[in-house]
Amino acid sequence: ISGVRSMACMKHVGLNVAADPLFTSSYTGVNAGVVIVVADDPGMHSSQNEQDSRHYAQASKIMMLEPADSDECLKYSKMAFELSEKFDTPVLLRLTTRVSHSRSLAEVSDRVDNGLKPYEKNAPKYVMVPANAKVKHVEVEKRILNQIAYCETEAVENGLNSVEYNDKKIGVITAGICYEYAKEALGDKASYLKLGCVYPLPEKLIKDFCNECETVYVLEELDDYIETHCRKIGVDVKGKAEFTLLGEYSQGLIRKVILG
């Protein structure tokens, strides 16, 4: 609000505590970029539960990015600040334990100073009494439509959402660390739709990919979040019925289920 880019970092259970301001910030928007980093813990290496923070993105109507390696953590963090200011909204950055505790090559660059944006008193924007909130909800729904359009076009052009065609007998829709598992397990025996933005999810991009592939699997740890979206838009995919709602996936599990 004061004009300085800011970041808040927490685990999935920390997001429970932060949920009240999280939901309201979706309505108020921002002045300078706000990125909320949340780390989920499939396998419960150090947590009380295995909750899936993607539901928070959907419920609060806040854009969520999910990197798959260290370089993408850096790239997506920068992109999240830009998207936050582009769409006037906080942006969630979802990690998992494996991504948070891994190391890989990352391409660094010089720091860009975005300066300080001036603060302007604006009660209709930042004070969510019902009269103001009703107006802001309309803006939130328009924002989601604009973000979906972004996910279909610009997000593909800049590599945030990407399609990789190999053998089209098997198609894989995935995000985050599961993309790394899938690539190692299946290699060029499958084609891939990698979603760097997991909320909002694209529609046309998914439909076009599924039309190109014979059998499509959704690979995602924890809940059937992407799978449910696919079924909602009328796409037939294989998912949790073949895999599991519990713990972490692995290269071995993916190879066994898909390749036998």
Looking at 51-196, which runs of residues are DSSP E strands?
64-65, 91-96, 161-164, 170-174, 191-195
DSSP string, 130-144: HHHHHHHHHHHHHHH
Residue 114: pLDDT above 90? no
Q: Are 41 and 98 in contact (CB under 8 A)?
A: no
- Quick: pLDDT tens for 176-226: 999 999 999 999 999 999 999 999 999 999 999 999 999 999 999 999 999
- pLDDT of 230 reads 98
In angstroms, the CA 10 to CA 17 distance is 10
In angstroms, the CA 163 to CA 160 distance is 10
The CA angle 191-193-197, to the nearest 5 degrees, is 165
Residue 126: pLDDT above 90? yes
| Maximal C-alpha separation, the chain | 62
Tell me the average pLDDT of the chain: 97
> What order do you get walking across the sheet with 6-11 strand by strand?
6-11, 34-40, 91-96, 64-65, 197-199
| Cα dist from 84 to 5, 76, 102, 109, 191, whole Å | 10, 12, 26, 21, 31
In angstroms, the CA 57 to CA 63 distance is 6
pTM listed for this prediction: 0.97
The DSSP code for 101 is: T
pLDDT band at 158 (very low <50, low <70, confident <90, very high): very high
CA nearest neighbour of 193 among 224, 225, 216, 169: 216
- Quick: pLDDT tens for 32-77: 999 999 999 999 999 999 999 999 999 999 999 999 999 999 999 9
